[in-house]
Structure 1
Amino acid sequence: MFELAVTDVAPADLGAARMQMALSLGWHIIIACLGVGMPAITLLAEWRGHRTGDVHYRLLARRWARALGVLFAVGAVSGTILSFEMGLLWPGLMGMYGEVIGLPFSLEGIAFFIEAIFLGIYLYAWDRLPPRAHLLSGIPIVIAGVASAFFVVTANAWMQQPTGFDVENGRIVAVDPWAAMFNPATPPQTVHMILAAFMVAGFAMASVYAVAMLRGRRDRYHRLGLLLPLTVAAAITPVQIGVGDWAAHFVADNQPVKLAAMEGVFETQRGAPLHIGGVVVDGELRYALEIPNGLSLLAHWDPDAEIMGLNEVPPADRPPVNVVHWSFQIMVAGGFALLGLAAWLGVAWWRRRELPRSRWFLRATALSGVVAVLALEAGWVVTEVGRQPWIVYGVLRTAEAVNPAPGLVWGFVLVSVVYAVLTVATVYVLRRLARDKPVPIAPQERDVTDYKVV
């Protein structure tokens, strides 16, 4: 009965549902990444403050904790919106496969509550707990945040490689939620996402202090505010590029259509070249720089390996190639740009044990937060749009899962307004926090609050 109904879904409503989900996910993922990465960096600053006795670390930890509280509250709102959208926009998915992928969402809810409880303790017990106890109270926040990201991404990984169920006479049977959660796509996708969260948090935090230093605030507080998160992000960047290669090999082995869209390959061929740039016109990738045999070598460790082209599948089963191809290009370019910044920092620290003195380094660091977010968003576009037209790869089409009720366009308009308000409110509150002076730690340390903090 549902399959008959979805044939009447207007293209505008299907497009609106997809755009609404894209807006919600694209907005929430930034806040979620900050929520995963910032607690660990904040705890690192607090730990360094206790270990070295440097009050600047502890002032940074207090400042970052306050921002983290704001972001957690905003993330709870956007996450709640997403929860409703899964049921309202995609009843064909949740109605049929909810019992298969319900486990990770339940576990994510438990992790969220643990994170909320200990975040409350951490925020309000600075002067009520011994320093070591307060530091320890932040560890569950880090663990719960990473666990929350892991559980959510396993559900998305299942949509890429559905396992843990059988279908008999159109009904789902033999459900194994654990097999569904730990599907073949889970290892590369969860590791890739969690590392991306730490990169986004580290580069975004460092970029704020880079802007302040460009404006002349070169005191120790701002130098540490830049150096600590930037060091974390820089150390993770080369690891992330290696994990990205692992994820790309998984796509090559399990989602050849997505790989063909990522590289704009239309004809099946051996020794396929790697494409840099280019645009698809009339079923052909044009104006791209080609590296001979590069794609075959990177995808299968064999320069003569065969790469399947998009012409092997019907046009209705192909993703929008230009969107996927350029998103992949942006993700890779952003990743290597951040790797270059990490190398710049590493060489300067190895030679002089200090930050690079060039203003160009500060300018690059100021841009690194934006670049990290763009790479993150582009990567998710590759993951999600590259799977189209399937919402569950090879099993359920997006058009079959969407709510057949008319008027989804108005829901998209309403949600767009909500996110516009959330964005303005979040930026306003964070800017107000940025203008405040650091919270004093002890009477003898009040003199350090004279710093103008960003």
Structure 2
Amino acid sequence: MDSTVHAARILMGDSLGFHIIFVLMGLTLPILVSWFELTGIVRKDQRFINVAKFWSKIMALLVITGVVSGTIIALQMSLVWPGILKFGGEVIGLPFMFETYAFLIEATFLALYLRTWGKVKPMVHWLFSLMIIVGSTLSAYAITSVNAWMNYPSGFDYISGKIENVNVWAAMFSRTSIVEFVHSMPGYYLSAALIIAGMYAFRIARSAYTKRTSKNHEMDWFIIKRLMLFAGVMFILSGITADITGKYLAKYEAVKLAAIELNYTTRNNAPLTVGGVGREDGTIVGPHFEIPGALSLLAGNSTDAAVEGLNVTPKDQRPPLFVHTLFDVKMTLVNILMVLIPGYFVVYAARRKWLQTRPVLYLIGISGFIGIAIVELGWMLTEIGRQPWAVRGFVTTEEAFTKSDSVTVYGYAFPIAYVLLFFATFYAIKRLVAAEKSKKGGTLS
């Protein structure tokens, strides 16, 4: 692959990796804000409403940042990868249009939500938050359906080198779109909830041990407990949808699964390989072990199920085998969360005083970063696992790449834009938190 194309792939990967952080926060905060506001209304407890009001300010800021970040991604798609839209614009144009309409719903009700605190009946105000959730979720689905279409193109007939008989609804609501959406959303919710819980845990950890259970931190502890409960539910849902995704990949994106699991040959009783590094000659080097029949069981609900191997796909159409290492890292992080999240509730029930110690608070704190890493690795597996295709089976990454001589300029402009956006966002959130603390005498709840 040409070095310029490779650099552009890295640029796009960095951009998406940065953007997804705003996405997952922007999708989760509306749910949490709505939840806490409703709790405050039902319990007639102003503290919950205060938390919702504070979070809504950060939510608005991250929505703005997400729009800017998403616009940069859109520019990259059109300027750096025009071949994708040139080939499939007729099919994926509608989801992009729907994403705009969904954003208008989100933005309209976000503005209403922010401007009507204390000016309308509490339940009416809360209903505005539901519409923010609807808008953001529809927006996420529309964009996810575009990525799903790139992974498994559908909704058209390909006749004599041209797209004919376009059915945009079939493409937008394909099996791939639904599977990808229902698996990604719980992951977003999980990681965002852990990040917010972690911020409160770090805040408590900065206080002296004797002050960590004071009235100043009473609401902080309650927020952490609620967010860890939310994260636990999302972790379970992620596991369920991961199983669905694995079975989907085995049937519809078999080469991606084969590369991820280093399954070189089509076979029954296919093992699950943990560790090791795959080579193109079909060998696995380095420390690793195999669980006999486990891949067949996961893919087909039976150890006797046949699982397609890499041997079915020509070598020049196979994904890079380092996706297996990425998957191993991801699953290691998943297993860490599998211990940390239930571990929190075990400690809460049996040794609650341990929660006040810095090591435990720091573990809660880092869990959010682990969650984000899992989301990032998941998207890396999705994108790298599709290579060498930009649109699987139709447009290679090299064919999708721009022929413009100005591409070098983009390589400098887009990273600079993201660095500036990051620091501007960090500064704005810091100012928001400082203003809230000064208003409430040093507390956030």
Same fold, TM-score > 0.5, yes or no: yes
User: Among residues 117, 129, 132, which one is paired with 2:108 in the alignment?
Assistant: 117
* Alpha-carbon distance in 1 for matches of 2:174, 2:337: 31
User: Among residues 111, 114, 124, which one is paired with 1:133 in the alignment?
Assistant: 124
Given that residues 273 and 293 in structure 1 are in contact (C-alpha distance below 8 angstroms), is that contact kept between their aligned partners in structure 2?
A: yes
Given that residues 237 and 335 in structure 1 are in contact (C-alpha distance below 8 angstroms), is that contact kept between their aligned partners in structure 2?
A: no
1:213-245 deviation digits (Å, cap 9, x = unpaired): 212254112112322222212211111111011
Alignment-derived partner of residue 430 in structure 2:
431
* Alpha-carbon distance in 1 for matches of 2:154, 2:309: 26
1:240-282 deviation digits (Å, cap 9, x = unpaired): 1110111011111111111111112224443222122222346
Alignment-derived partner of residue 80 in structure 2:
89
> Mean Cα displacement is larger for which, 169-178 or 258-267?
258-267
Alignment-derived partner of residue 307 in structure 2:
307
Alignment-derived partner of residue 444 in structure 1:
none
* Alpha-carbon distance in 2 for matches of 1:223, 1:50: 20
Alignment of 1:317-396 (within 5 A): 317-322=317-322, 324-348=323-347, 356=355, 359-396=358-395
The alignment partner of 1:391 has SS state of strand
User: Among residues 239, 255, 269, which one is paired with 1:241 in the alignment?
Assistant: 239
Say if 2:154 is the partner of 1:163: yes
* Alpha-carbon distance in 1 for matches of 2:346, 2:415: 44
60 and 389 in structure 1: CA distance in 2 versus 1, 3 angstrom threshold: same
Alignment-derived partner of residue 68 in structure 2:
77
TM superposition shift of 1:40: 0.7
Given that residues 45 and 58 in structure 1 are in contact (C-alpha distance below 8 angstroms), is that contact kept between their aligned partners in structure 2?
A: yes
TM superposition shift of 1:353: 9.5
* Alpha-carbon distance in 2 for matches of 1:354, 1:120: 42
* Alpha-carbon distance in 2 for matches of 1:298, 1:359: 39
1:158-217 deviation digits (Å, cap 9, x = unpaired): 111211111222221100100111122122111011112211221111110011121225
* Alpha-carbon distance in 1 for matches of 2:87, 2:122: 50
* Alpha-carbon distance in 1 for matches of 2:50, 2:352: 23
Alignment-derived partner of residue 19 in structure 1:
10
Residue 289 of structure 2 aligns to which amino acid in structure 1? L
TM superposition shift of 1:339: 2.9
* Alpha-carbon distance in 2 for matches of 1:226, 1:206: 5
> Mean Cα displacement is larger for which, 387-396 or 367-376?
387-396
> Mean Cα displacement is larger for which, 350-359 or 144-153?
350-359
Alignment-derived partner of residue 250 in structure 2:
252
Given that residues 205 and 357 in structure 2 are in contact (C-alpha distance below 8 angstroms), is that contact kept between their aligned partners in structure 1?
A: no
The alignment partner of 1:307 has SS state of coil
* Alpha-carbon distance in 2 for matches of 1:413, 1:230: 40
Residue 383 of structure 1 aligns to which amino acid in structure 2? T
User: Among residues 83, 90, 102, which one is paired with 2:93 in the alignment?
Assistant: 102
* Alpha-carbon distance in 2 for matches of 1:171, 1:268: 33
Alignment-derived partner of residue 54 in structure 2:
63
Aligned residues: percent identity? 33
> Mean Cα displacement is larger for which, 428-437 or 390-399?
428-437
* Alpha-carbon distance in 2 for matches of 1:170, 1:331: 39
* Alpha-carbon distance in 2 for matches of 1:393, 1:57: 48
TM superposition shift of 1:358: 5.5
* Alpha-carbon distance in 2 for matches of 1:27, 1:111: 22
Given that residues 62 and 439 in structure 1 are in contact (C-alpha distance below 8 angstroms), is that contact kept between their aligned partners in structure 2?
A: no
Given that residues 37 and 202 in structure 1 are in contact (C-alpha distance below 8 angstroms), is that contact kept between their aligned partners in structure 2?
A: yes
Gaps of 5+ in 1: 1-9, 441-448
TM-score, normalisation: structure 2: 0.92
Say if 2:131 is the partner of 1:143: no
* Alpha-carbon distance in 2 for matches of 1:256, 1:367: 34
> Mean Cα displacement is larger for which, 130-139 or 305-314?
305-314
Gaps of 5+ in 2: none
Given that residues 63 and 439 in structure 1 are in contact (C-alpha distance below 8 angstroms), is that contact kept between their aligned partners in structure 2?
A: no
Alignment of 1:289-300 (within 5 A): 289-300=289-300
1:358-399 deviation digits (Å, cap 9, x = unpaired): 544322210111001000000001111101111111222111
Given that residues 115 and 144 in structure 1 are in contact (C-alpha distance below 8 angstroms), is that contact kept between their aligned partners in structure 2?
A: yes
Alignment-derived partner of residue 229 in structure 1:
227
* Alpha-carbon distance in 1 for matches of 2:382, 2:316: 18
111 and 410 in structure 1: CA distance in 2 versus 1, 3 angstrom threshold: same
TM superposition shift of 1:409: 3.3
* Alpha-carbon distance in 1 for matches of 2:314, 2:366: 41
The alignment partner of 1:275 has SS state of strand
TM superposition shift of 1:52: 1.6
1:88-122 deviation digits (Å, cap 9, x = unpaired): 12222211210111111111110101111111111
Residue 292 of structure 1 aligns to which amino acid in structure 2? P
Alignment-derived partner of residue 452 in structure 1:
443
The alignment partner of 2:175 has SS state of coil
TM superposition shift of 1:351: 6.3
TM-score, normalisation: structure 1: 0.90
Alignment-derived partner of residue 408 in structure 1:
407
TM superposition shift of 1:327: 2.0
* Alpha-carbon distance in 2 for matches of 1:230, 1:412: 40
* Alpha-carbon distance in 2 for matches of 1:267, 1:274: 13
User: Among residues 5, 17, 20, which one is paired with 1:29 in the alignment?
Assistant: 20
* Alpha-carbon distance in 2 for matches of 1:412, 1:437: 38
